[in-house]
Chain A
Amino acid sequence: MLRIKNLESGYGRLKVLKKVTMHIGAGEIVTIIGANGAGKTSLLRTVSGLIRVRSGEILFDMRDVGNLPPEKIVFRGCSLVPEGRQLFGPMTVRENILLGAYPRFRKKDGDGVRDDIERIYAIFPRLRERERQLAGTLSGGEQQMLAIARALMARPKLIMMDEPSMGLAPLVIKDIFSIITRLREEGNTVLLVEQNAKAALAIADRGYVLETGRIIMEGTAEDLLSNRDVQRAYLGRDLDAEEKM
């Protein structure tokens, strides 16, 4: 579905991503783990068009989307749930959801949107309760749910999530991750970027490890979970030390 080859990008003179190559198949949950500043967010921002591609290519559904602006990429079926939610704070919950469905209105699918709003409210009952509230007044967990709901309203083929667990209470994180699993069961493809590597690998099919802008490791989620280096660097366990004890 998504195929990235030797992708490089950055801000100004600073090159953040260096020769990143990866792919995501339909129906998968793929996770990218890595420390702060590894380039995870930059990768998602580049794929969604917010940062320009320096070199390399991004193929989405076999077509190059590397130089499209973000508003065009959404129309191709690739949505981003940005880091830090980025809701329309002074607008109501319902308005946020409606705006997420903007590409569908453009494609004259207004009826489908109405059904989808019901579907979204079934997944996130809290949003129905808060329909008329301003998005900026929601709790952190509710805001994250709304951000996911807004992205889903475009009916993307691929939904990319940037740190959905950031700043949330452990119970809420559990909710969000069970929702992501549920999205996969409903046939969605998810690219999940997380610092919470353990939780991300627990629900993912495959994973990539990003370090200082390079992919240094890739494999199935189980392989990565049991890898010594990954455990030491990202899961907070040192197997070598444990064996010595």
Chain B
Amino acid sequence: MLRSGACARSACSRSLHEERTKDLEFFFQYLVAGITYGTIYAIVAIGFNIIYNATGIINFAQGEFVMLGGMTAVTLHRFMPLPAAILGAVVLTTIVGAIIEIAFIRWLRRPSVLRMIVITIALSILIRETALHIWGESVRSLPYFTGSSMTSFQWGGVYVSPQILWVIGIGVFVVAALGAFFNLTMLGRQMRACSANRDAARLCGINAGNMVTLSFMISAAIGALGGCIICPITYVQYDSGTPLAIKGFTVAILGGLGNSTAAVGAGMILGILESFSIWVLPAAYKEVIAISILLLILFVRPSGIFGSAEAARLKDF
């Protein structure tokens, strides 16, 4: 820009101005992308939290629910319209969630934390390898819910794909619906009662075992729904669950384990940080952000940024 006297003063300032608006457009473009990913991370984190609240364990197969949802929807979409395929994928994954709980978790009496970690990690490997057998290594994708990858809205120079609106809209719906379920319905209150005090809940006549099964089903369902809505943007493959599980786990820890409202905030933070990291760092470092945050939080504030240290001390891990 400093081409000394050759550059007329007015031309110089115009290009500076253009650059500023360009930066602003980039800024919003990255922001929108960050919010989109943040929504998915938040959904995965909420899945972690629901099971954590009901059982006190981390279900490391949570990312596999997301992958299963996406994969099943892609397959079903060959035979039926998109909404039916998504519904079918969510229902099937919910059933898988229930089977996992009934077959592997329910009969364990007071399992140790380490044992649960080993079991859920084994389950995630099992599901991943089964998916590899069924679907192979190929990368699949659902079509955009409305429009295509070419269509986009333009808001003041920011291009927004319609799928992004679907992701954010469904994400908001999921969070609101879960909030209503847990706070306003008797079934939701029973689940909260079980996580607050399991013995007391049983003394009220609540079948705590069924509540745990239900928590696995709800986690599987919202994970699968998350997998379906993100699938047109990020594609899905047999092993795409693991990175999402790591991100979701980071977000759950960042917000404070068990706190789903905080998970939404933490999801946005991670999504937006990741998205802006591309601006300043090479794209390959994107994945490093989540791990760095995870490590940092675990070292500095294991109760999460929104969690209370006092509550964290009462938790098993």
Contact = CB atoms under 8 A, between A and B. Distances in A.
A43 to B, nearest CB: 15
A89 B205 contact: no
Interface string A85-123: 011111100010011101101100000000000000000
Given A82-B200, A86-B200, A91 B205 contact: no
Contacts of A105: 186
A80 interface: yes
Interface residues on B, range: 10 to 19
Contacts of A216: none
Interface in B163-197: 186, 189-190, 192-193, 196-197
B266 to A, nearest CB: 20
Contact of A50 (B192, B197, B199): B199
Given A99-B189, A102-B190, A87 B205 contact: no
Contacts of B190: 99, 102
A75 B205 contact: yes
**Majority-rule SS of B interface residues:** helix
A214 interface: no
Nearest to B202: A70
B199 A102 contact: no
B203 A98 contact: no
Most buried by B among A82, A88, A154: A88
A99 B204 contact: yes
A91 B204 contact: no
B184 to A, nearest CB: 10
Contacts of B208: 71
Chain A contact residues (Cβ within 8 angstroms of B): what range? Answer: 20 to 34
Given A86-B200, A88-B196, 12 more contacts: A74-B203, A74-B204, A82-B199, A86-B197, A87-B197, A95-B189, A95-B192, A98-B186, A102-B186, A102-B204, A103-B205, A150-B204
29 contacts: A48-B203, A50-B199, A69-B202, A70-B199, A70-B203, A71-B205, A82-B200, A82-B203, A86-B199, A86-B200, A86-B203, A87-B200, A88-B200, A88-B201, A89-B196, A90-B192, A91-B192, A91-B193, A91-B196, A99-B190, A99-B193, A99-B201, A102-B186, A102-B190, A102-B204, A105-B186, A106-B205, A151-B203, A154-B205
Interface of A: 48-50, 69-71, 74-75, 79-80, 82, 86-91, 95, 98-100, 102-103, 105-106, 150-151, 154
Interface of B: 186, 189-190, 192-193, 196-197, 199-208
Which 7 residue pairs of A and B lie closest in terms of their CB atoms, listed nearest first?
A74-B205, A86-B200, A88-B196, A103-B205, A70-B202, A88-B193, A102-B205
